[in-house]
Amino acid sequence: MEFFEHVWSIIKTIQFRDIIDILAIALIIFGLFRLLRDTRAIQLLKGIAFLFIVYFLSSLLELVMLSTLLRAFFEAAVVVIVVIFQPEIRKALEQMGRNKTWTKRFVFLFKSLGKSDEWKDAVRKSITDAADTSVLFSRSKTGALIVFERETMLSDIAATGTIVNADTSVALFGNIFFNKAPLHDGASIIRDGKLYAAGCILPLTDDKTVDMNLGTRHRAALGISEQSDSVVLVVSEETGVISLACNGTLTRDYTRETLVCKLSELLLDEFEDENPKKNRKFMRGRKKD
């Protein structure tokens, strides 16, 4: 009986802010576990846990030199963790910045209030021009790599190519990606409905699970889509297949209609096709070539 009274006295001292504090810490720990569970970082975490056990035993057995060395290591733990888990921390912060589905609609609505009709018309034109170009390139087996910039600015990527800043057109895309043109091997960046830069160098994906048959264009498309919120259009030079990369996922086998529909959805939050279910089957693909 005294035990329950003691527990009840402790419970009565708990305030609402304490509950929020506990839940916040629990969510952070759960998020860290999910982040590290399927990565190489979990092995590093096991190593740190092992060192902590060694430190506890060395202190218990009064091993002065060993415990002093490990104490110095743990005192600098914040810096060590940032260095060791830098890729995972960066990935988590990027996901927090662009992949919150519960705020997606609100953010888009807030942004749309500041976008003029001219901007929307320019983006729609760039989507149509890119789709028409992709169909032509697919038939002629001409490779292409077009990056549609969204919230994440790609000025550092654009600096690796040539600034164009011109209105999009099928003829312009055709000249840039002509196989003897000096800029055809790089990526073109679309910003605010205009062809901002061409011949740009994109980072390749580090994902080891990507199909070995994927070429450099597809790996570059996946790489930039992992590091930003951009949408990347790829036309395969070998097969003529039209693909899209977004959030590190590659989807394939687009027609002109499904491509316009998906790009309109991703860039303008609009559905160009009256039957969106018809297009969803194209978005269930895996990273295959």
**Could you give the count of Cα atoms lying within 13 Å of 196 in the half-sphere of its Cβ?**
21
pLDDT above 90 for 47: no
Q: Is residue 104 over pLDDT 50?
A: no
Cα angle for residues 247, 250, 256 (degrees, 5° grid): 110
Pick the CATH number of 116-283 from 3.90.1150.10, 3.40.1700.10, 3.40.47.10, 3.30.2350.10: 3.40.1700.10
Residue 109 reports pLDDT greater than 80:
no
Q: Which residues pair with 231 in a beta bridge?
A: 148, 246
CA distances 4 to 7, 9, 10, 119, 271, Å, are 5, 9, 10, 66, 60
pLDDT of residue 49: 83
Between the alpha carbon of residue 270 and those of residues 99, 134, 161, 289, the distances in Å are 19, 20, 31, 28
pLDDT band for 225, please (50, 70, 90 cuts). Answer: very high
Across 148-154, average pLDDT: 89
Say yes or no to pLDDT of 100 above 50. Answer: no
Of the pLDDT bands very low, low, confident and very high (cuts 50, 70, 90), residue 145 is very high
Q: What is the pLDDT of residue 285?
A: 37
Dihedral in degrees, nearest 10, Cα atoms 251, 108, 229, 96: -110
Residues of the chain above pLDDT 90, percent: 40
Q: Which of 199, 216, 204, 98 is nearest to 146 (CA)?
A: 199
pLDDT, mean over the chain:
80
Separation of alpha carbons 22 and 74, rounded Å: 24
Q: Where in the chain is the domain with CATH 3.40.1700.10?
A: 116-283
Q: Are strands 187-191 and 144-148 parallel, antiparallel or unpaired?
A: parallel
Q: Check pLDDT > 60 for residue 288.
A: no
Burial class (CB in 10 A: 0-12, 13-18, 19+), 157: buried
Contact 218, 230 (CB under 8 A): no
pTM: 0.63
Residue 131 predicted with pLDDT over 50: yes
Q: What pLDDT, on the 0 to 100 scale, is given for residue 185?
A: 87
Local structure of 63: helix, strand or coil: coil
Q: Which letter, b or e, does each residue of 244-276 get, where b requires 16 or more Cβ atoms within 10 Å of its Cβ?
A: bbbebebbbebeeebbbbbbbbbbbeeebeeee
Compute the average pLDDT of residues 241-263: 94
The per-residue pLDDT for 279 is: 39
The share of the chain scoring above pLDDT 70, in percent, equals: 76
Residue 35 — pLDDT band, cuts 50, 70, 90?
A: low
In tens, the pLDDT along 186-214 reads 999 999 999 999 999 999 988 878 888 88
